């Protein structure tokens, strides 16, 4: 069976030396990216101002206060920058090895890798969108009670617009839920599950028979 090539609109699959590899881009949540970009511009201004004050002939107590403030300010900016970089260029690299499923969340090749033993993975499924048959989003005379009803299909379109396709792929590991691929829509998530299940028979019950 041929696996190499494009898997879906937001994922690609290849055979790597470690096994089947699926690369899924991070969710591109553009409103958050724009907000963080603007916030980081202000953050950089604050960093420069604090550094100038510390290096200038400022009284020692003021320098000590600014040094503590700058430390926390730098941590906050680093966290915001890492989130922004993750959403812009990050990927989830899923590898199905003979003994384990690994999920690496990376940007520029760097990022933590989680390892899941295959015999402890249960119920690998592509989750559907929540049953949002009717969601009150605005006042309108078009629906009873003055509310506009929105179908699950439209709700999914809104999620895709901001970079989130759906709940993604889910499995149970040691009694705890694990989820990846939230940038994928439900159909793409099902394709990922099909590719993985074609290589390994994942247990579908909570305990092995």
Check residue 50 and give its pLDDT. 93
The pLDDT tens digits of the residues spanning 111-163 come to: 999 999 999 999 999 987 655 433 334 334 344 554 444 455 555 555 554 44
Overall pTM surpassing 0.75 (yes/no): no
Average model confidence (pLDDT) across the chain: 80
Backbone CA torsion sign across 16, 19, 20, 22: negative
Check residue 18 and give its pLDDT. 82
Instruction: Evaluate whether 81 touches 108 at the Cβ level (below 8 Å).
Output: no
Instruction: Evaluate whether 183 touches 27 at the Cβ level (below 8 Å).
Output: yes
| Domain segments of the chain as ranges | 31-88
- If one compares 164 and 63, the residue with the highest pLDDT of the two is 63
**How many contiguous H segments (helices) and E segments (strands) does the chain have?**
4, 9
Would the pLDDT of 165 be above 90?
no
Does an H or E element contain 96, and which?
A: strand 91-96
Check residue 195 and give its pLDDT. 92
Residue 9 pLDDT class (50, 70, 90 cuts): low
Instruction: Evaluate whether 35 touches 94 at the Cβ level (below 8 Å).
Output: no
**Cα separation of 130 and 90, whole Å?**
26
Record the tokens describing residue 84, joined without a space: 């922004």
Average pLDDT over residues 78-86: 94
Record the tokens describing residue 18, joined without a space: 């470690």
Angle at the Cα of 88 (from 82 to 92), degrees rounded to 5? 80
């Amino acid at each position: 069976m041929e696996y190499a090539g494009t898997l879906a609109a937001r994922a690609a699959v290849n055979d790597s030396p470690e096994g089947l590899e699926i690369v899924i881009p991070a969710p591109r949540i553009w409103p958050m990216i724009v907000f963080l970009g603007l916030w980081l511009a202000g953050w950089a201004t604050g960093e420069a101002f604090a550094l100038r004050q510390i290096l200038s002939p400022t009284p020692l107590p003021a320098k000590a206060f600014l040094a503590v403030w700058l430390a926390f300010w730098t941590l906050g900016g680093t966290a915001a920058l890492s989130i922004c970089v993750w959403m812009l260029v990050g990927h989830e690299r899923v590898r199905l090895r003979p003994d384990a499923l690994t999920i690496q969340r990376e940007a520029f090749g760097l990022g933590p890798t989680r390892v899941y033993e295959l015999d402890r993975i249960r119920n690998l499924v592509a989750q559907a969108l929540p049953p949002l048959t009717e969601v009150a989003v605005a006042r309108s005379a078009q629906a009873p009670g003055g509310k506009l009803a929105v179908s699950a299909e439209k709700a999914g379109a809104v999620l895709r617009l901001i970079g989130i396709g759906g709940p993604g792929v889910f499995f149970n590991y040691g009694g705890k839920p694990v989820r990846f691929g939230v940038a994928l829509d439900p159909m793409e998530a099902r394709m990922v599950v099909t590719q993985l299940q074609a290589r390994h028979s994942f247990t579908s019950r909570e305990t092995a028979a």
